[in-house]
Structures are given as structure tokens and as C-alpha cells.
Structure 1
Amino acid sequence: MEEVVIRLNQKNHGAFYLMLDNEQVGEMVIGIENGVLTAYHTEIHYTQEGKGLAKHLLDGMVAYARTHQLKVKPLCAYVHAQFKKHPEEYADLWLQE
């Protein structure tokens, strides 16, 4: 079973981690400042690629952003591609500059 957990340092920099059977198999590096969650990079362990697990990280990040009323700046190529592919799904979050 997959679980997404977030760990942030005192400066609100950190990552969402995708855990599979208590083993980390992916991460999405982020930072939060002034009401904006910036997604920098998403990576899934090479042994788990192609299984749709990055979407679980994305869903976890989106749920967190909505719960905390944050806008999302998608600098990560994966997050940006998903926002562009499904703009109606992320319109309330997407900080477009």
C-alpha cells in the first residue's frame, strides 16, 4: 500500500515521500514560502518506474496544497506537464506567472 508523507525543515523546504511497504520509492522536492508551494523535482526509484506512482505523489501534494490553501508553482517538469494536461483539475492551485 502506498503512503505519501511530507517532511519539512524549519525553513519549509523538504519533500513529499512516497512509501511502499515502509520503503521510500519516490520523492517530490518542494519549498513553501508566502503561500506558494514550489514543486522542484519528482523522482521515482528506477525499480518502480512505469507504475503510475508519480501520480500518487502529485495527488498527495495537491491535497496538501488545497488543505493549506496554497498556490502551486510547478517548476518540476512532471508537475508542470500534468497541470498543462489537466488544467481544469488544477486551476484553483496553479500559479501561472
Structure 2
Amino acid sequence: MEDVKLQLDEKGHGHFYISDEEEQVAEMVVSISNGLLTVYHTEVLPKAEGKGLAKQLLTAMVDHARKNGLKVIPLCPYVHAQFRRRPADYADVWNGSDQ
């Protein structure tokens, strides 16, 4: 498995992703605009489930938000659930409008 990578287009749309030797096995679809990082969807291929890849994507996304002074809008059910489960861990990046 590779490390988490971020790919964005010129409009700030893209994804955090993890690949194995053959293909992309996990991704978190995001967009970044006006100081906000919106997370839309997180998906791990069935063959890669149970390896903590979604958590790796979450950690990379939160680290990126912190390093770049972004607030996160967690529209993705997985990310929203993690933020609600541990609000103190994400209070600095969680956009206050949906807490």
C-alpha cells in the first residue's frame, strides 16, 4: 500500500486516495474553496476493507485542513460520524455550522 495522496484540479475538486500496486483501493472525494474543505464521499474497495484505510484518509484530510487553515464540512456520512463521535479531536477544523 502507498501513502495517502491528494489530487486536486484547478477548481479545487479532487480526492485523497490510496493505491496498491494495481489500482486505487480507497478514496475520499473533496473540494476546497474559500477556506472550506468539503468531504462528499469515502469509499474503500471490498478487497481492501478492514485495513484502516478510511481512517488513514480521514487523518490525511484533517492534517491537510490543519496545515492549510481550512474548515471541514463533513457531508460524507463516515466523516460526519467520526467528527460526532470525537468532537474534541476535530473541533479546530469542524465547520461550526453543522455540529
Alpha-carbon offset, residue 23 of structure 1: 3.8
Secondary structure of the 2:83 match is: helix
Point out the more displaced range, 76-85 or 13-22. Answer: 13-22
Deviations 1:13-59 (A, max 9, x none): 00001123474210000001100000000000111112221000000
Structure number with the higher strand fraction is: 1
TM-score w.r.t. the length of structure 2 is 0.91
Q: Which amino acid aligns with 1:87?
A: P
- Give the share of equivalent positions with the same residue, in percent: 56
Runs of 4+ in 1 over 4 A off after TM superposition: none
2:61 counterpart of 1:61: yes
What is the number of residues matched between the two proteins? 97
5+ residue gaps, structure 2: none
* Separation in structure 1 between the aligned mates of residue 3 and residue 22 of structure 2, nearest angstrom: 9
Which residue in the other structure is 1:8 paired with?
8
